[in-house]
A and B are shown apart, each in its own frame.
Chain A
């Protein structure tokens, strides 16, 4: 089977250079360096607007008013981050709420939500096992059992219980996949207590953002979840969708960064943040990782990771609108 033609891979742009301006020029989107010297080309990058759906900006980057109007017109979401990657908020184009899709999403009942959430968590646990096994860590039968348990629960609390237990077992073993000099004691957040937890948290944030972009592109409300509890300002559905990607994409990415020596402990500040330069490296590595292709485990054609995430948003939407009978999560058996 041939992969469907796509524009997904270059559809997300990151702008990190401070003092730049994003503007339009003859129908194209241009990243302009306001501070460029006379002998430098101020045009840093240019994109056809039809190709983009998300622009992520970090820190001091501004948009011209005509550009924002174009972004609205063309359904381009603008996400704002601080210079070191903390999410600040978004500009969401108005065409991004198709009533019928939202209605179907809000009409999901507990049983339907649970059915979708079970698929997501079962896939997550499956992917945890797969990642460990790819790294040569064996003896993960307990995860296998937890995966079965996740499929058989009758309520969300039991599902969260199975998920939590699996996460604990899995992170216990993830340590074995790291090169010497790095240890993974346990998963900590708010704040991450060590460098590896800091990288994991950062990567989950970025993947959550990929999930948000994907959900928004297909008019699903990222703030109304199927498993994560709704809490003011929390993109619960994006977090739900992210679950299946965490082991196989996020954790795999972080272990790769460490094991290939992309970062050393010196790249982190005292509060476990990446230094400015290291953060730029991180961004380009992350984007490269999302554009990297793999053989899709179900469809068997080559897809980029970014496209795989977008496809899951489509499959989720189809499950919600009844175009498909169930949600088909992304799981890798090997």
Chain B
């Protein structure tokens, strides 16, 4: 019963990024409300709030698409001579953006073009840390990645928890780590960590 109702639900754009970062983390968030609040998130929220007070842009616009199975709020849309371009702002301490950010901006482009019925092939990622914006050209690869992740998210179920991430570095800044306990699990029940990046981290 729950499964069917989840299938009917649209996937939120922020979920794509969460899922790409770590499916297990996303599982905790979705089914158990079990991720901490990181400083970065709190800080990011306040920056968003400060930025969205500036005028001259279309900000915080909500879109949904039943055909894509996707919905979400685009942070900022720039309109330049009739061309609409979504912009996603990131804190990005490292001074760089991640593949998951690209997936997110691709999803925004797809949402936007579904709404305006025109191709949107470019989106921007703006990084606070460097005060730079990066143009992302949305390719077919981006589009199929978005669709694949949407399908994966829609077929998730509470009874099957995704395994630990292969990239153990991702755990370092993860607010769900205290609950997730990848290293501890690898130690207590090694078979649970088999085939993941945590296998060799006793």
CB of B13 closer than 8 Å to a CB of A = no
Report the interface size class on chain A.
20 to 34
CB of B192 closer than 8 Å to a CB of A = yes
B189 touches A324 (CB 8 A): yes
A98 touches B37 (CB 8 A): no
CA distance A299 to B184 in the complex (A): 6
Please pick, from A1, A50, A324, the residue contacting B192 in the complex, using a CB distance under 8 A.
A324
CA distance A328 to B188 in the complex (A): 8
Nearest-neighbor residue (CB-CB) of B182 within chain A: A4
A324 touches B185 (CB 8 A): yes
CB of A314 closer than 8 Å to a CB of B = yes
Nearest-neighbor residue (CB-CB) of A325 within chain B: B189
A314 touches B179 (CB 8 A): yes
Nearest-neighbor residue (CB-CB) of A1 within chain B: B183
CB of B32 closer than 8 Å to a CB of A = yes
| Residues A261-305 near B (CB distance < 8 A) | 298-299
A50 touches B37 (CB 8 A): yes
CB of B50 closer than 8 Å to a CB of A = no
Q: Kindly name the residue among B42, B179, B184, B192 whose own CB sees the greatest number of chain A CB atoms within 10 A.
A: B184
CB of B93 closer than 8 Å to a CB of A = no
Contact flags A1-17 to B (C-beta < 8 A → 1, else 0): 10011110000000000
Contact flags A188-217 to B (C-beta < 8 A → 1, else 0): 000000000000000000000000000000
A314 touches B181 (CB 8 A): yes
- Minimum distance in angstroms from B197 CB to a CB of chain A: 14
CB of A39 closer than 8 Å to a CB of B = no
| Residues from chain A with Cβ under 8 Å of B34 in the complex | 218
- Minimum distance in angstroms from A95 CB to a CB of chain B: 7
| Residues from chain A with Cβ under 8 Å of B32 in the complex | 98, 100-101, 219
| Residues from chain B with Cβ under 8 Å of A325 in the complex | 189, 192
CB of B201 closer than 8 Å to a CB of A = yes
CB of A157 closer than 8 Å to a CB of B = no
Nearest-neighbor residue (CB-CB) of B158 within chain A: A100
CA distance A218 to B161 in the complex (A): 17
| Residues from chain A with Cβ under 8 Å of B181 in the complex | 4, 311, 314-315, 318
Contact flags B96-129 to A (C-beta < 8 A → 1, else 0): 0000000000000000000000000000000000
Please pick, from A5, A7, A324, the residue contacting B188 in the complex, using a CB distance under 8 A.
A324
Nearest-neighbor residue (CB-CB) of A96 within chain B: B33
Report the interface size class on chain B.
20 to 34
Q: How many A-B pairs with Cβ below 8 Å? A: 46
Nearest-neighbor residue (CB-CB) of A300 within chain B: B187
CA distance A218 to B180 in the complex (A): 12
- Minimum distance in angstroms from B34 CB to a CB of chain A: 8
CA distance A254 to B185 in the complex (A): 33
CB of B177 closer than 8 Å to a CB of A = yes
B177 touches A4 (CB 8 A): yes
Nearest-neighbor residue (CB-CB) of A296 within chain B: B184
Nearest-neighbor residue (CB-CB) of B42 within chain A: A50
B33 touches A5 (CB 8 A): no
| Residues from chain B with Cβ under 8 Å of A218 in the complex | 34, 179
Please pick, from B161, B178, B189, B201, the residue contacting A1 in the complex, using a CB distance under 8 A.
B201
- Minimum distance in angstroms from A265 CB to a CB of chain B: 43
| Residues from chain B with Cβ under 8 Å of A41 in the complex | none
| Residues A80-108 near B (CB distance < 8 A) | 95, 98, 100-101
- Minimum distance in angstroms from B150 CB to a CB of chain A: 23
CA distance A314 to B178 in the complex (A): 9
| Residues from chain A with Cβ under 8 Å of B161 in the complex | 323
B183 touches A299 (CB 8 A): yes
A5 touches B177 (CB 8 A): yes
CA distance A4 to B178 in the complex (A): 6
A100 touches B31 (CB 8 A): yes
CB of B195 closer than 8 Å to a CB of A = no
CB of B95 closer than 8 Å to a CB of A = no
CA distance A98 to B30 in the complex (A): 11
| Residues B140-161 near A (CB distance < 8 A) | 158, 161
Contact flags A210-234 to B (C-beta < 8 A → 1, else 0): 0000000011000000000000000
Nearest-neighbor residue (CB-CB) of A75 within chain B: B33
| Residues B166-202 near A (CB distance < 8 A) | 177-179, 181, 183-185, 187-189, 192, 201-202
Nearest-neighbor residue (CB-CB) of A307 within chain B: B178
**Sampled A-B contacts (9; CB under 8 Å):** A4-B181, A95-B33, A100-B32, A101-B32, A299-B184, A311-B184, A323-B161, A323-B192, A324-B188
6 closest cross-chain pairs (CB), A and B: A4-B178, A328-B188, A4-B177, A1-B183, A299-B184, A50-B37
11 other contacts beyond A219-B32, A324-B192, with CB at 8 A cut-off? A1-B201, A5-B178, A6-B178, A50-B37, A98-B33, A218-B179, A298-B187, A299-B187, A323-B161, A323-B192, A324-B185
